[in-house]
């Protein structure tokens, strides 16, 4: 796909690093401002082209990556006034890297297919540092031929690329993945608060868990905040986490699956968001839970 014209919409914490890697490794990129004008300016200074609407991008690009907040934003970019559908033509491929509702993804794929375009869901795993380094994970939902076609472009920003099934499967797997990781966040937070209340400090907690079999990459970035107060260690907001857990709940409901743990984790994130913590980052849940229990970790 070295000759394909590529566009990118959604230059947030993850998107800017992903887009920068596409520009550096593919050699060409078109971007547009969504929320972060500064990110557009940096990419344009590095050689990217700029357009003003998704429709304009669709008319000039063969492949468009999306990395926005969730399904309402994806739907607006694709179906809204001057959206991708307004400029789409036969052969266009839209790769949605957002964390979205699978039912919406399948419906949008049908809308794009009606004009000869294809939708691929490729939600990502990792951190902004991984996005900048090009070492993210991609969970791809599409047919085998399209997967082979888009894999080289996804490889610009992903070190691990897994074809998980047909369109929509990527977003299903991503919701399950985030359920597990955010469940860890909830569990760590309660364990830390309990430890502090009974005389086990975060330092002691970390000296045990951080050297045992339960240590993992998510644990490391979560505990970096707990131990050093580095807010850049894990830049994923409570609002986004809560959104993903609501999507998971809807998927469980549609599948008639009892989701007891999912509901419990969702409600903990809901409580923090309602208390004013929506824009805080996920590891900061530990401080919220500690405060609920009348203690402090820091």
The residue ranges of every structural domain in the chain are 6-166, 172-292
pLDDT the model gives residue 36:
72
CB 99 within 8 A of CB 178: yes
* Check whether domain 6-166 has CATH 3.40.50.720, yes or no: yes
Q: Considering the entire predicted model, what is its pTM?
A: 0.93
Whether the domain at 6-166 and the domain at 172-292 fall into the same CATH topology: no
> Can you read off the two tokens belonging to residue 62?
């063969």
Exactly one of 5, 25, 172, 174 is catalytic; name it.
174
Matching residue, tokens 């920003």: 157
pLDDT the model gives residue 1:
57
Question: Which residues does 21 contact at the CB level (< 8 Å), separation at least 6?
Answer: 131, 132, 134, 156, 157
Pick the CATH number of 172-292 from 1.10.10.10, 1.10.1040.10, 3.40.50.300, 3.30.70.890: 1.10.1040.10
User: Mean pLDDT per segment of 10 residues, for the chain of length 298 residues?
Assistant: 88 95 96 85 95 97 96 97 95 97 97 97 93 97 98 97 98 97 98 98 98 95 97 93 97 96 98 98 98 95
pLDDT the model gives residue 298:
82
Q: Partners of 179 in the beta sheet?
A: none
How crowded is the C-beta side of 213, counted as CA atoms within 13 Å? Answer: 0
- Other C-beta atoms lying within 10 Å of the C-beta of residue 215: 14
How far apart are the C-alpha atoms of 30 and 48, rounded to whole Å? 6
Buried b (16+ CB within 10 A) or exposed e, 178-210: bbebbbbbbebbbebbebbeeeeebeebbeebe
Q: Is 174 a catalytic site residue?
A: yes
Task: Give the chain as a 3 state SS string.
Answer: CCCCCEEEECCCCCHHHHHHHHHHHHCCCEECCCCCHHHHHHHHHCCCEECCCHHHHHHHCCEEEECCCCHHHHHHHHHCCCCHHHHCCCCCEEEECCCCCHHHHHHHHHHHHCCCCEEEECCEECCHHHHHHCCEEEEEECCHHHHHHHHHHHCCCEEEEEEEECCCHHHHHHHHHHHHHHHHHHHHHHHHHHHHHCCCCHHHHHHHHCCCCCCCHHHHHHHHHHHHCCCCCCCCEHHHHHHHHHHHHHHHHHCCCCCHHHHHHHHHHHHHHHHHHCCCEHHHHHHHHHHHCCCCCC
């Amino acid at each position: 796909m070295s000759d394909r014209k590529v566009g990118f919409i959604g230059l947030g914490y993850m998107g800017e690093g992903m887009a920068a890697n596409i520009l550096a490794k593919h050699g060409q990129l078109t971007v547009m401002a969504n929320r972060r004008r500064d990110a557009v300016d940096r990419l344009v200074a590095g050689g990217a082209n700029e357009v003003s609407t998704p429709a304009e991008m669709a008319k000039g690009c063969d492949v468009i990556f999306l990395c926005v907040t969730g399904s309402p934003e994806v739907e607006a970019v694709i179906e809204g006034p001057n959206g991708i559908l307004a400029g789409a033509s036969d052969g266009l491929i839209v790769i949605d890297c957002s964390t979205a509702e699978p039912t919406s993804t399948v419906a949008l794929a049908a809308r794009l297919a009606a004009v000869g375009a294809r939708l691929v869901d490729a939600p990502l795993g990792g951190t902004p540092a991984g996005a900048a380094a090009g070492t993210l994970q991609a969970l791809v939902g599409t047919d085998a031929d399209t997967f082979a076609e888009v894999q080289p472009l996804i490889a610009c920003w992903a070190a691990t690329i897994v074809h998980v099934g047909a369109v929509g499967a990527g977003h299903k797997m991503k919701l399950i993945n985030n359920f597990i990781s955010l469940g860890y966040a909830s569990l760590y937070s309660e364990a830390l608060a309990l430890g502090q209340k009974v005389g086990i400090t975060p330092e002691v907690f970390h000296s045990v868990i951080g050297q045992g079999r339960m240590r993992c990459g998510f644990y490391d970035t979560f505990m970096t905040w707990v131990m050093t107060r580095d807010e850049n260690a894990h830049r994923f907001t409570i609002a986004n986490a809560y959104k993903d857990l609501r999507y998971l709940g809807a998927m469980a409901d549609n599948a008639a699956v009892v989701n007891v743990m999912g509901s419990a984790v969702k409600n903990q994130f809901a409580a923090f968001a309602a208390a004013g913590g929506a824009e805080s980052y996920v590891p900061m849940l530990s401080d919220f839970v500690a405060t609920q229990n009348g203690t402090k970790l820091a």
